[in-house]
Structure 1
């Protein structure tokens, strides 16, 4: 029945002289890219397994969460997986084609004190070429952010749309016994509590530039609207009108806020 309807739609939009092509429609999420993610290797010969493990864990979690990739089993990898391979001529693409990989990620790291250098590359196995590569320099504490950022770059290179993994999420948790506002990486790691209202906090919303949030809090016994600067920690009361001051949302430009008030009776 679906095939018949599709054929009918194509006939309705057919113009004389135009060639009809075959169109294949599949359910979303069923077409995935077989991707090989190799363990990152040391640039200077000084191996720190914990660094490599965390980088690979972040990348694997991000890429699997996207639903666009099928990660190949590392136990099946051949000798090229242990080689550096930061340029195309150093990659044995034949091995990866044999394993069925369409894309390949290779990388390396270097640690000197607290400084971390991370090199990451994405290759197109079929065309035997580099798709994208990045070099990140920062501190060891930046490791997860670097890996998230490269996962974003992988998605942008393959889909044209940047990924969400270097961003953060705001959410409400009652782990302290009160509903407070928290911030974490998009995969839930490294949560940070932003409020200490010891009451009920609701409805957080990021500003367009991501440097502040607005939220509703019952800190004063009334659902009032607050603003919180993420980096400075400064907090301001925006609206404390009688009744509801809830569901605050920034407009795209960030200069105005929409919110629901009940000061005149009905919300």
Structure 2
């Protein structure tokens, strides 16, 4: 007789289990101060990293935010850049730097700038990027922002530099969502991609799980237990207004957005057993996709919207499968390991990230879909909920370090990791949002 999925040993992927197991797992986690300050700790060395110098911005010693430090931390976290010592130089965007000096410091590129407080309290932030090797001015930008947007301006500078030097779009001005538990209070946060500047979107004495960004970044779908059972809501991030989408008999869980934003895939037990359905993001009557005696859950759409990846124990243990977005016969995707959950598909369609149980440890794995090649990319043992950056170059996930919950990012090869959480932390369920409109 097949062992029911709920009886498997606990895993960090809380959205995969019944309410009782989920609440017990969350209740056992340590307390985090509601406004804990985050910091970025980058570790590892990539094979090829571009050496870049970010000179201290003129005037930033009196600025509430150190622009140059934020920009450098962003670039280093990407795994594509290595910081070069830029101390002892007084430069701004109007300066013509001595590029031979920076070549001696082994920098391939140099960013300089200034930050000035205006009479109305806003800040004028300017920068310029130089190609040190070719001696070229690569342009720059300026932003006039309130104090609260100084970090956003810094992230946009990092985006500009990243795109100019790699040819690919930067993700530093995007946002992440995640959940914390502090005491008996659960909070859904929206934060910058480096974990800073967190704003509470929802707080509740009952668990909140499975936040998922819509493709335009304006809405979050999530599961709340406010009515003492799992119910799916859609939340407008800007206004704070939300609407109930799925509150059927039994469990309503694991929402996933279709790329066009009109539809959610969800896991419902309304007809007995956990099965996959699609439902309008405005609510209404769901359409059943799977017809099995197994537990089918954790759906995620491919970037083109044509395929749904999901987790099922139809083969006797949880594995990742795929099928057409309208249903049909599923095809098994994961064959390495006996327990694979929490699929995430990269925006370019090349990669599948997921959690695999290996000898009792839960570890982040990445599969190249074209070849089926799989690589474990962490040495931690309690990884959960991977989510790709919108440029498909980084993954955010939750794990435990030194016994504490931590929010991490990693490059796809696992060589560059950054810890986004501070020393205290009960942080879980991360989801990386889409590119932001400028």
One fold, TM greater than 0.5?
A: yes
Q: Which has the larger radius of gyration?
A: 1
Could you say which residue in structure 2 is the equivalent of 1:50? 62
**1:208-247: CA deviation from partner (whole Å, max 9, x where unpaired):** 1111100001110111001111111112111101122111
Show the counterpart of 1:217.
224
What TM-score, normalized to structure 1?
Answer: 0.81
Instruction: Select 1:32's aligned residue among 24, 38, 49.
Output: 49
More strand by share: 2
**How far, CA to CA, are the matches of 1:30 and 1:53 in structure 2?**
31
Distance 2:111 2:244 in 1: 47
TM-score (norm 2): 0.50
Note the 1:90-239 alignment, pairs <5 A: 90-113=96-119, 114-239=121-246
Deviations 1:105-164, CA, capped at 9 Å, x for gaps: 111122113111111111110111122311111212211000001111111111121111
Counterpart of 1:13 in structure 2 is none
Provide the secondary structure at the position in 2 that maps to 1:123. strand
- Conserved? CA contact 2:111–2:127, under 8 Å: yes
Q: Structure with the greater relative contact order (CA < 8 A, sep ≥ 6): 1 or 2? A: 2
1:41 to 58, 63, 78: 58
1:12 maps to none
1:245 to 249, 252, 261: 252
Contact 2:212/2:222 (<8 A) preserved: yes
1:84 equivalenced with 2:92 (yes/no) = yes
Distance 1:235 1:220, change over 3 A: same
* Structure 1 moving runs of 4+ over 4 Å: none
Report deviation, 1:85. Answer: 4.6
- Residue number in structure 2 paired with 1:72: 84
Secondary structure at the aligned position of 1:62 is classed as helix
CA distance in 2, matches of 1:194, 1:188: 15
| Cα pair 1:102 1:124 within 8 Å, conserved | yes
Question: Whole-Å Cα distance in 1 between the matches of residues 187 and 93 of structure 2?
Answer: 47
Could you report, residue by residue, the CA deviation over 1:17-50 in whole angstroms, capped at 9, with x for unpaired residues? xxxxxxxxxxx921111111101114xxxxx513
Gaps of 5+ in 2: 1-44, 275-438
Q: Kindly state the Cα deviation for residue 176 of structure 1 after the two structures are TM-superposed.
A: 4.5
Q: Is the CA contact (8 Å cut-off) linking 1:222 and 1:242 kept in structure 2? A: no
What SS does the aligned partner of 2:221 have? strand
Deviation of 1:194 after TM superposition, in Å, equals 1.3
